[in-house]
Chain A
Amino acid sequence: MDFSLSKKHLLARALFKEFAETEVKPFATEVDETEVFPRHTVEKMAKSGFLGIPIPKEYGGQGCDALTYVMCVEELSKVCATTGVIVSAHTSLCCDPILTYGTEEQKQKYLVPLAKGEKLGAFGLTEPGAGTDAQGMQTKAVLDGDNYVLNGSKIFITNGKEADIYIIFAVTDIVTDKRGRAKKEISAFIVEKGTPGFDFGTKEKKMGIRGSSTYELIFTDCRVPKENLLGVKGKGFGMAMHTLDGGRIGIASQALGIAEGALDRTVEYVKERKQFGRAIGAFQNTQFQLANLATNVQAAQLMVYKAAQAKSTQKRYTVEAAMAKLFAAEVAMDVTTKCVQLHGGYGYTREYEVERMMRDAKITEIYEGTSEVQRMVISGDLLS
Chain B
Amino acid sequence: MKIIVCIKQVPDTKGGVKFKPDGTLDRGAMLSIMNPDDKAGLEAALTLKDKYGAEVTVLSMGLPKAEDVLREALAMGADKAILVTDRVLGGADTWATSTTIAGAIRNLDYDLIITGRQAIDGDTAQVGPQISEHLNIPVISYAQKIEVEGDYVIVERQFDDRYHVLKAKMPCLITALSELNKPRYMTPGGIFDAYDAEITQWGRADLKDVDDSNLGLSGSPTKIAKASDKVRKGAGEKVVLDAEESVKYIMDKLNEKHII
A15 lies within 8 A of B189 (CB): no
Q: How far is the CA of A64 from the CA of B192 in the complex (A)?
A: 7
Q: How far is the CA of A158 from the CA of B220 in the complex (A)?
A: 62
Q: How far is the CA of A329 from the CA of B1 in the complex (A)?
A: 52
A61 lies within 8 A of B71 (CB): no
Indicate the member of A47, A49, A68 with the most B CB atoms within 10 Å. Answer: A49
Instruction: Return the CB mask of A345-382 against B: 1 if under 8 Å, else 0.
Output: 00000000000000000000000000000000000000
Q: Quote the shortest CB–CB distance from A318 to chain B (angstroms).
A: 26
Of B40-48, B53-61, B180-188, the stretch lying at the interface with chain A is B180-188
A207 on the interface (CB 8 Å rule)? no
A49 lies within 8 A of B188 (CB): yes
Instruction: Return the CB mask of B62-85 against A: 1 if under 8 Å, else 0.
Output: 000000100110010000000000
B187 lies within 8 A of A11 (CB): no
A18 on the interface (CB 8 Å rule)? yes
A62 lies within 8 A of B187 (CB): yes
Q: Quote the shortest CB–CB distance from B241 to chain A (angstroms).
A: 19
B191 on the interface (CB 8 Å rule)? yes
B 168-202 contacts with A by CB, 8 A: 184-192, 194-195
B185 lies within 8 A of A15 (CB): yes
**Chain A residues, Cβ within 8 Å of B189:** 49, 53, 57, 61-64
Q: How far is the CA of A48 from the CA of B187 in the complex (A)?
A: 5
Chain A interface, number of residues (Cβ within 8 angstroms): 20
**Chain A residues, Cβ within 8 Å of B195:** 6-8, 11
**Chain A residues, Cβ within 8 Å of B68:** 11
CB-contact partner of B188 in A6, A7, A47, A64, under 8 A: A64
A72 on the interface (CB 8 Å rule)? yes
Closest partner residue, chain B, to A55 (CB atom): B189
Indicate the member of A6, A50, A62 with the most B CB atoms within 10 Å. Answer: A62
Q: How far is the CA of A57 from the CA of B188 in the complex (A)?
A: 11
Q: Quote the shortest CB–CB distance from A13 to chain B (angstroms).
A: 10
Q: What is the interface residue range for chain B against chain A?
A: 10 to 19
CB-contact partner of B187 in A6, A7, A49, under 8 A: A49
**Chain A residues, Cβ within 8 Å of B185:** 15, 18-19, 47-48
Q: Quote the shortest CB–CB distance from B178 to chain A (angstroms).
A: 14
**Chain B residues, Cβ within 8 Å of A68:** 188, 192
Instruction: Return the CB mask of A3-39 against B: 1 if under 8 Å, else 0.
Output: 0001110011001001100000000000000000000
Q: How far is the CA of A50 from the CA of B190 in the complex (A)?
A: 12
**Chain A residues, Cβ within 8 Å of B71:** 7, 11
Q: Quote the shortest CB–CB distance from A322 to chain B (angstroms).
A: 26
Q: Quote the shortest CB–CB distance from A46 to chain B (angstroms).
A: 11
Q: How far is the CA of A6 from the CA of B192 in the complex (A)?
A: 11
B191 lies within 8 A of A8 (CB): yes
Q: Quote the shortest CB–CB distance from A211 to chain B (angstroms).
A: 21
Closest partner residue, chain B, to A9 (CB atom): B191
Interface residues of B (CB under 8 A from A): 68, 71-72, 75, 184-192, 194-195
Q: List 9 A-B contacts (CB under 8 A).
A: A6-B195, A11-B194, A12-B188, A15-B186, A48-B185, A49-B188, A62-B188, A63-B189, A64-B189
Interface residues of A (CB under 8 A from B): 6-8, 11-12, 15, 18-19, 47-50, 53, 57, 61-64, 68, 72
Q: A11-B71, A48-B187 are known contacts; what are 17 more A-B pairs with Cβ within 8 Å?
A: A11-B75, A11-B191, A11-B194, A12-B188, A12-B192, A15-B188, A18-B185, A19-B185, A49-B187, A49-B188, A49-B189, A50-B188, A61-B189, A62-B189, A63-B189, A64-B191, A64-B192
CB-CB nearest 6 A-B residue pairs: A62-B189, A49-B187, A8-B195, A48-B185, A62-B188, A64-B188
